[in-house]
Amino acid sequence: MNLRALAAKVVFQVLEKGISLSVALPEQQKNLDNGKDKALLAELCYGVMRYLPQLDKQVSDCMSKQMKGKQRIVHQLLLVGCYQLYFTRIPSHAAISETAEACRQLKFEGLVKVVNGVLRNIQRQEKPLSTDNDTLAYNTPAWIIKRLKEAYPDNWQNVIEQSHERPPMWLRNNQQSQTRETYLQALAGLDIEAEAGNSPDSILLSSPRDVMQLPGFETGAASVQDGAAQWAATLLAPQGSELVLDACAAPGGKSCHLLELAPEIKLVAVDFDAKRLERVQQNLDRLSLNAELVHGDAADIDSWWQGDKFDRILLDAPCSATGVIRRHPDIKWLRKNNDIEELAQLQSKIFDHCWKWLKPGGTLLYATCSILPQENKDQVSAFLARTPDATLVPIEEQANPSDIGWQIVPGQNSMDGFYYARLVKD
């Protein structure tokens, strides 16, 4: 099947079925043999997710009757066509004819002329994409814009703009294999331009690479992980043979980092999602690390753990993921406004329960990849107000030591948006 038809299928799965891009895209990439085609398929699907409102308006404005029901996939195909015309260097005639051919392959023979006509019309008009309202101007749903305006009155535009940038590729040096300096030299030896990031093991590549080109990747010399996410293990700072809980562990990037920093700890890594837990095991295997994996609920530790209380707990809570929209632009369309309050309730339930399982003198690191205060500083403030034996320990990197936790915004030092709060139990 042609690549535009596969792209339409992916966009349909995300927008009509609510399946995430990171699940829907690899499923269709399997149908392509060559790396270049896989990359173009990803580019088209990510592009449509990034610019959805503007593309949707342009396409809808050129149609007298909107596609409904099963025909929606043809509408999604038109978004893919429109994206090519505005945002790629693919010659217009090729973009249009390939997209029309995709319509035929999707078995909508009767709509091939419509697809051709709409795309030719768009191409002929050369109309700039609409910026008539905030949703169009920022390609972001109104409820996210409203929440960001409230949370970041002085820089909300910048937060949104950064969320549309293409994210850089970060590596985590495995300090059990070599020093970061040595790994940087190995990269330089292969003409891979890179620099040290601000967290101790992080390396920022100047352009993304296939991991198989990275020295020692298969044997665990380095892993792919954003610079912001790498602060988790560093801030939790596991020591010696401590008992450590990673309460929401999958796919396991932070579990692996904890073990690289302190190989003697006993790590219990739990996740609610059995399928995602398999990925934790794969990551541990690649790095030759060991942890006790539990398929369980972090809000009900009593039901699956009969051991001691934990010296340290990482609570990387389920969240809106609004800090990582630049990596997962489908989040803008999959998340709904009501989710935020529901997530905040789930977070506080897990937070309280994990706290019960922390030893006196122990440390809990609360983390999210959200940039919304309801899931971050408001969450931690409320926790502190109802938990007399909890003390917030400021993080050195915070701009202001009196802030409740450290909010990283997307693009700050090239990192994803993230939040950390470190708490110690009396």
Ligand X SMILES: C[S@@+](CC[C@H](N)C(=O)[O-])C[C@H]1O[C@@H](n2cnc3c(N)ncnc32)[C@H](O)[C@@H]1O
* Residues within window 298-327 making contact with ligand X, judged by CB under 6 A: 298-299, 316, 318
Was 249 annotated as part of a binding site?
Answer: yes
Q: Contact between 297 and ligand X (CB under 6 A)?
A: yes
Length of the chain equals: 426
Was 308 annotated as part of a binding site?
Answer: no
* 134/273 with CB nearer ligand X: 273
Q: Contact between 276 and ligand X (CB under 6 A)?
A: yes
Report the residue from 101, 273, 378, 397 that binds ligand X according to the rule CB under 6 A.
Answer: 273
What SS3 string covers 206-222?
Answer: CCCCCHHHCCCCCCCCE
Output the smallest distance, CB 296 to ligand X, in A: 7
Was 316 annotated as part of a binding site?
Answer: yes
Output the smallest distance, CB 27 to ligand X, in A: 19
Between CA 371 and CA 409 the distance in angstroms is 7
Was 24 annotated as part of a binding site?
Answer: no
Was 297 annotated as part of a binding site?
Answer: yes
Stretch that binds ligand X, among 80-88, 107-115, 146-154, 245-253 (CB under 6 A): 245-253
Task: Pick the catalytic residue from 45, 62, 103, 369.
Answer: 369
DSSP state of 46: H
Buried b (16+ CB within 10 A) or exposed e, 118-127: bbbebbeeee
Structure token digits, residue 285: 């295997």
Was 248 annotated as part of a binding site?
Answer: yes
Asked if 347 and 319 count as a contact pair (C-beta separation under 8 A), the reply is yes
Report the residue from 168, 220, 238, 253 that binds ligand X according to the rule CB under 6 A.
Answer: 253
Determine the size of the site formed for ligand X (CB under 6 A): 19
Was 421 annotated as part of a binding site?
Answer: no
Asked if 391 and 424 count as a contact pair (C-beta separation under 8 A), the reply is yes
Was 107 annotated as part of a binding site?
Answer: no
Q: Contact between 350 and ligand X (CB under 6 A)?
A: yes
- One-letter amino acid for residue 141 of the chain: P
* 14/270 with CB nearer ligand X: 270
Residue 340 has a CB neighbour count (10 Å cut-off) of 20
Nearest CA among 245, 246, 258, 201 for reference residue 224: 201
Stretch that binds ligand X, among 24-32, 36-44, 92-100, 265-273 (CB under 6 A): 265-273
Location of structure tokens 């596991």: 238
Name the residue with the smallest CB distance to ligand X. 248
Q: Contact between 254 and ligand X (CB under 6 A)?
A: yes
Between CA 306 and CA 290 the distance in angstroms is 20
Q: Contact between 250 and ligand X (CB under 6 A)?
A: yes
* Residues within window 211-240 making contact with ligand X, judged by CB under 6 A: 229
Output the smallest distance, CB 104 to ligand X, in A: 40
* 250/344 with CB nearer ligand X: 250
Stretch that binds ligand X, among 22-30, 83-91, 200-208, 266-274 (CB under 6 A): 266-274
Report the residue from 251, 281, 381, 403 that binds ligand X according to the rule CB under 6 A.
Answer: 251
Between CA 95 and CA 418 the distance in angstroms is 38
Between CA 269 and CA 372 the distance in angstroms is 26
Stretch that binds ligand X, among 103-111, 119-127, 190-198, 268-276 (CB under 6 A): 268-276
Which residue(s) pair with 292 in the sheet? 268
Please report the beta strands in 197-321, taking only residues with DSSP state E, as ranges in sequence order: 202-205, 222-224, 243-246, 266-271, 292-295, 310-316
Nearest CA among 291, 313, 295 for reference residue 245: 313
Between CA 19 and CA 237 the distance in angstroms is 36
Residue 369 is among the residues annotated as catalytic for this protein: yes
- One-letter amino acid for residue 205 of the chain: L
- The contact set with ligand X (CB under 6 A) reads 229, 248-254, 270-273, 276, 297-299, 316, 318, 350
Catalytic residues: 369
